[in-house]
Structure 1
């Protein structure tokens, strides 16, 4: 066996989902920077991750909402490497919309991708980790899963579900030497938010929304991560350094607004509601509605 082959066999094998842009791409790069890790970067479209292949990673097609795609991806890695040591579940989508105005299809897409997609990938990879009695599962959640924000209710719900499911998973896999870390970032600059904003603007213009009069607040809230969030590269490097520790934290929190949201999580709901409603412009809308009601009496 050559020295190159020996080095290849001693490397830990990492699988990262949702690598087409932003956070996922940078997480793959941060893992690839580790000399003892071989990275399998995945996305629905291989063309979107050709640059990662050029950087020395293995690229595979993976649609986390397709059971066959998941099985094919995991079996390919198992066949090539014989193991999976690290799984980073990053694939996700979001929609900015008033809760009762979000179309059912969009709502289901969010849950299917962010929650069931994550579950199904984890289940397949975890079976391998259990057999080898070691492994690390990293779930990219969000502080929005701790405290729900107006106009992103379904995204918040999906991340809350990820947190709850993964907390149970962490305890269940511990006897087999498999660790589970839930990453709860605050505002991070990513294509996820960039892609959702035009769609949100179109929805507000075409649906006759109840919230037309506070549109400026909704737009401002949805662009916060784009304007003031942590660069995805910085987030990825911090996160990978944290989760690769010998004893990684059960929950890892970083990026702007992360600590503030955790504080809000522990405050009485009346205070949290007041603060978030004020930021979202709902206080202004409430005043308008009261004024109109009084005028009609």
Structure 2
């Protein structure tokens, strides 16, 4: 393995996801990529490309420590770029949300950014212009209905990223927020199996909450990039010596930047429509 190749470790690289797409894109641009996942059997895409892999469960301190030790051995203590990509979603109205599930979501989407970065920091400190990239989401800025736990975990992750950016800057470690809008990937597939509790106050539509419990593909448009197109664009931006503190990508991110200048009612109207809250309100009023 060429010693001059920059080493990139990416968490959450399971097949069909954005982590896998990033790993493949970094690999084809000449980086030494270490793809990680909790379940190594789900790394067939990166494995077929000849990408190195390590097992990593970002919610397990033991797994994180073991991965950091293994990486130190196979790269001789080298790490140029840590991408905290692992994450998950959960859809339910706040009044139906199970708090234990919400805590697990924060463990995965928020607290893991700290624990993983802490573990790999000794390697990053040895590297000039090292980078930590935390994969956030436009949900950090917009209170999309029926995914409050996810929104909150990403908003908290964004706040942590801002703090980490300031705290690690004196040590020449860049901390960057990867702010992603809509991208065609499998992250929303688990929505198809979700159902409202029978006694939920939102269970008033004959067809249920189709908009929020489908696989998410109904939200895609002709402008929604596929995962590999998105990844190629992001890798180009991440590969710069000095990066902006936020890297934007995916559909709707430009719209997100305008939301602070939009009337609240305009944004609310859009969110109510895509989440079927407008239909729910009509159904409730007809009772």
TM-score, normalised on structure 1? 0.87
**Unaligned ranges ≥5, structure 2:** none
Residue 201 of structure 2 corresponds to which residue in structure 1? 210
Q: For residues 79 and 110 of structure 1, what CA distance do their matches in structure 2 show?
A: 31
Matched, 1:93 2:88: yes
Residue 231 of structure 1 corresponds to which residue in structure 2? 226
Residue 113 of structure 2 corresponds to which residue in structure 1? 118
CA contact (8 A) 2:192 2:213 kept: no
Relative to its length, the structure with more helix (as a share) is: 1
Q: Which moved further from structure 2: 250-259 or 57-66? A: 250-259
Offset of residue 58 of structure 1? 1.0
1:109 paired residue among 91, 104, 112: 104
Change (3 A) 1:53 1:279: closer
Residue 295 of structure 1 corresponds to which residue in structure 2? none
Offset of residue 268 of structure 1? 4.5
Matched, 1:275 2:266: no
Q: For residues 216 and 262 of structure 1, what CA distance do their matches in structure 2 show?
A: 34
Rg larger in structure: 1
Change (3 A) 1:149 1:78: same
Change (3 A) 1:141 1:185: same
CA contact (8 A) 2:191 2:212 kept: no
1:264 paired residue among 250, 259, 268: 259
Q: For residues 152 and 122 of structure 2, what CA distance do their matches in structure 1 show?
A: 27
Change (3 A) 1:215 1:127: farther
Matched, 1:47 2:41: yes
Match of 2:191, SS state, is helix
Change (3 A) 1:221 1:72: same
Q: For residues 215 and 192 of structure 1, what CA distance do their matches in structure 2 show?
A: 27
1:196-244 residue CA offsets vs partner (Å, 9 max, x unmatched)? 21232xx22x433221234758422454742414211111111111111
2:29 paired residue among 27, 34, 45: 34
Matched, 1:173 2:168: yes
CA contact (8 A) 1:214 1:282 kept: no
The two structures, once aligned, show a CA RMSD in angstroms of 2.0
Q: For residues 141 and 211 of structure 1, what CA distance do their matches in structure 2 show?
A: 28
Q: Which moved further from structure 2: 280-289 or 175-184? A: 280-289
CA contact (8 A) 1:187 1:224 kept: no
CA contact (8 A) 2:211 2:276 kept: no
TM-score, normalised on structure 2? 0.90
Offset of residue 158 of structure 1? 0.8
**How many residue pairs were aligned?**
281
